């Protein structure tokens, strides 16, 4: 269960950042600013993180592009672009933000505390970008790239931000029909089977119908040779 936001002390925030980012801030104010949402400004004197988010978005895209370029030397521009979109999309950044405990370190106004505790994706992904921007200002691009690699490339690198959408586009072009999803309830949530012209091409289990469909689509793409 997600923990509600709390106002940790500066030493606690610095220790947390060093542990999860692998980076030690020289300027604590940059870290505090990155973790401060605009809704909190009315409750204290510190600047919020929107400018750092703006900067971090560009740094993040550059760092991810560089890493993908090196990791996948045989892939086309289109394939690399799809991977980058999948890595830097709000859903993925928010997921990583939850995993590193970002929720309980952020400073938000009372009006947003409940939404943040429920894992509101845009707030978390914006804060993630702000953190990258803060590291860039504090230690330069190389430090920011190391943080990005540590947090985003230590796991399986997604190839699509929306496997279901990509599968539909591909199936329409190749087969002239739409894929059909059949879902059933299972103890884990839902099981989805994707069919093309009546033939099963992939199955997936997820906590929601959306998750199950995405997993089924990913399996179908692998079977169709589109996820190599």
- Distance between CA 84 and CA 78 in Å, rounded? 10
Catalytic residue, candidates 57, 126, 145, 213: 57
- Distance between CA 175 and CA 19 in Å, rounded? 50
- Distance between CA 202 and CA 75 in Å, rounded? 24
Catalytic residue, candidates 53, 126, 129, 213: 129
- Distance between CA 172 and CA 179 in Å, rounded? 8
Tell me, yes or no, if 77 is annotated catalytic. Answer: no
- Distance between CA 105 and CA 36 in Å, rounded? 9
Rounded to the nearest 10 degrees, the angle between the axes of helix 90-99 and helix 141-152 is 80
Tell me, yes or no, if 57 is annotated catalytic. Answer: yes
Token couple for 93:
């950044």
- Decide: 63 and 145 in contact? Cβ < 8 Å: yes
- Give the active site residues: 57, 129
């Amino acid at each position: 269960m997600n923990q509600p936001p709390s106002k940790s002390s500066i030493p606690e925030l610095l220790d947390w950042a060093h542990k999860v980012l692998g980076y030690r801030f020289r300027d604590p104010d940059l870290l505090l600013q990155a973790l401060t949402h605009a809704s909190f400004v009315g409750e204290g004197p510190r600047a919020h993180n929107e400018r750092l988010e703006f900067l971090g978005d560009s740094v993040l895209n550059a760092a991810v592009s560089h890493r993908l370029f090196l990791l996948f030397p045989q892939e086309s521009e289109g394939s690399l672009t799809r991977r980058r979109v999948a890595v830097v999309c709000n859903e993925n950044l928010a997921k990583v933000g939850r995993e590193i405990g970002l929720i309980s370190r952020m400073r938000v106004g009372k009006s947003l505390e409940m939404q943040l505790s429920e894992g509101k994706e845009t707030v978390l992904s914006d804060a993630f970008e702000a953190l990258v921007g803060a590291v860039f200002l504090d230690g330069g691009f190389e430090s920011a790239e190391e943080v990005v690699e540590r947090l985003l490339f230590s796991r399986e690198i997604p190839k699509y931000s929306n496997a279901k959408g990509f599968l539909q586009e591909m199936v329409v072009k190749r087969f002239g029909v739409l894929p059909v999803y059949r879902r059933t309830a299972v103890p884990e949530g839902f099981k989805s089977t994707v069919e093309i012209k009546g033939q099963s091409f992939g199955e997936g289990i997820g906590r929601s119908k959306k998750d199950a469909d995405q997993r089924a689509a990913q399996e179908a793409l692998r079977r169709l040779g589109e996820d190599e």
